[in-house]
Amino acid sequence: MSTVTKAKAMSASGRDYLELTKPKVVALLVLTAWVGMMLAQPGLPDLLKLFAATAGIGLLSAAAAAVNHVVDQRIDAQMARTYSRPVAKGRISPLQAASFAVALAVTGFVILYALVNALTAWLTLASLFGYAVVYTMFLKRATPQNIVIGGLAGAMPPLLGWTAMTGDIHGHALLLVMIIFTWTPPHFWALAIHRRDDYAKVNMPMLPVTHGIEFTKSVICLYTVILFLVCLMPYLVGMTGAIYLLGSAVLNLRFMQYAWKLKLQSDNSSAMATFKFSIVHLMVLFLLLLVDHYFKVAPIYVS
């Protein structure tokens, strides 16, 4: 390492290390894991397990994010959105970031294995591997379906939360995974439309680069319709009640409205608004699942 790089690496602050962990993304991932924990049983979950599972899932997610900063340092340095990230800028060296990631991952895994259960520990480690290795190192550079397949890793937390409480995999938890899996493409592709030129510059085969913006807008519309239908499933199987049904219908109609507005406009001026709405959508949807769980109005069955 050159003296200049060393000096920059030494000037890393706590804030730089925090940035490595993608804290806002991890916060939403943890919220979805909590919902999995709460919905796994009636009443409140065991508090020790809740704290341990939160810490473990949060730490392993943060570790995955830090690995992403190391692997992507060169492309991050060339894109306007990411050029000032700590590893891309040299404020944290790749070795420091990788060591930080290993420390977070080992701590998270040990917490899950010792205080929660082995199934959750291994599934969370597999999610880390799915995002940090399968998505970041391979899929991201290989195919425009990168975020569809890689999205499974980010969709796992509700299942991780559920297995943390029960020790087994339940169909209801898989429905929550399916919701996030279907939400991810419109979430990311809206941003990718806005940042298309950045991705083209670094040769990342994101859908707006490989298939064009019009095609991407159409696929976003299609995914919002699929998401609407997938979000009905928890109600249809009797997992949730009317509060969730109504709330999710409103959120999904609004998401579809954003998608159609983006599709119908000749420029891409509402792409970022669509991306930002996707985050509010997922957060409110999962909060609704919680409210519905504790104040459930029974589904209406027609006999």
Q: For binding to ligand HEM (CB under 6 A), which residues are involved?
A: 24-25, 28-29, 32, 81, 135, 147, 150-151, 154-155, 180, 184, 187-188, 191, 279, 282
Q: Residue 128: which of ligand FPP, ligand HEM, none does it interact with, CB under 5 to 8 A by kind?
A: ligand FPP
User: Coil, strand, or helix at residue 144?
Assistant: coil
Residue 194 C-beta: closest distance to ligand HEM, Å: 10
CB of residue 58 to ligand FPP, shortest distance in Å: 9
Residue owning tokens 């049983």: 41
Binding partner of 208, given ligand HEM, ligand FPP, none, CB within 5-8 angstroms per partner class: none
Identify which of residues 163 and 184 has a Cβ nearer to ligand HEM in the complex: 184
Residue 22 beta carbon to ligand FPP: minimum distance, rounded to whole angstroms: 5
Residue 60's binding partner out of ligand HEM, ligand FPP, none, with CB under 5 to 8 Å set by partner kind: ligand FPP
Q: Output 180 or 245, the one with its CB closest to ligand HEM.
A: 180
Q: Which one, 131 or 244, has the nearer CB to ligand FPP? A: 131
Which lies closer to ligand HEM via its Cβ, residue 9 or residue 28?
28
Closest CA to 204 of 145, 162, 271: 145
Question: Please, which contacts does 141-148 make with residues 24 or more away whose CB atoms are closer than 8 Å?
Answer: 141/204, 141/205, 142/205, 143/205, 144/205, 144/206, 144/207, 144/209, 144/210, 144/211, 146/205, 146/206, 147/184, 147/185, 147/188, 147/189, 147/206, 148/184, 148/185
Residues that bind ligand FPP (CB under 6 A): 22, 25, 29, 60-61, 64-65, 68, 72, 82, 124, 127-128, 131, 136, 153-154, 156-157
State how far the Cα of 15 lies from the Cα of 276, in Å rounded to an integer: 23
Radius of gyration in angstroms for the set of CA atoms belonging to the chain, rounded to a whole number: 20
Nearer to ligand FPP, 126 or 249 (CB): 126
Q: Which is nearer to ligand FPP, 146 or 240 (CB)?
A: 146
68 binds, among ligand HEM, ligand FPP, none (CB under 5 to 8 A by kind): ligand FPP
Q: If contact means CB under 5 to 8 A according to the sort of partner, which of ligand HEM, ligand FPP, none does residue 235 touch?
A: none
* Closest distance to ligand HEM from the beta carbon of 30 (Å): 9
Q: Cα separations (Å) of 184 from 73, 96, 161, 227?
A: 23, 30, 19, 10
* Minimum distance, C-beta of residue 72 to ligand FPP, in the bound complex (Å): 6
Closest CA to 55 of 83, 72, 34: 34
Could you tell which of ligand FPP, ligand HEM, none binds residue 221, using a CB distance below 5 to 8 A set by kind? none
Answer yes or no: are the C-beta atoms of 208 and 192 closer than 8 Å. yes
Sign of CA dihedral 10, 11, 14, 19: negative
Cβ–Cβ < 8 Å for 174, 232: no
Q: Tokens in use for 228?
A: 């609407």
Cβ at position 184, least distance to ligand HEM in Å: 5
- The SS3 call for residue 140 is helix
Give the residue carrying structure tokens 């969709």: 155
Report the residue number, 101 or 282, with the smaller CB distance to ligand HEM.
282
Position 265: which residue type? Answer: Q
Which residue is listed with tokens 């199987």? 237
- Residue 204 or 262 having the CB closest to ligand FPP: 204
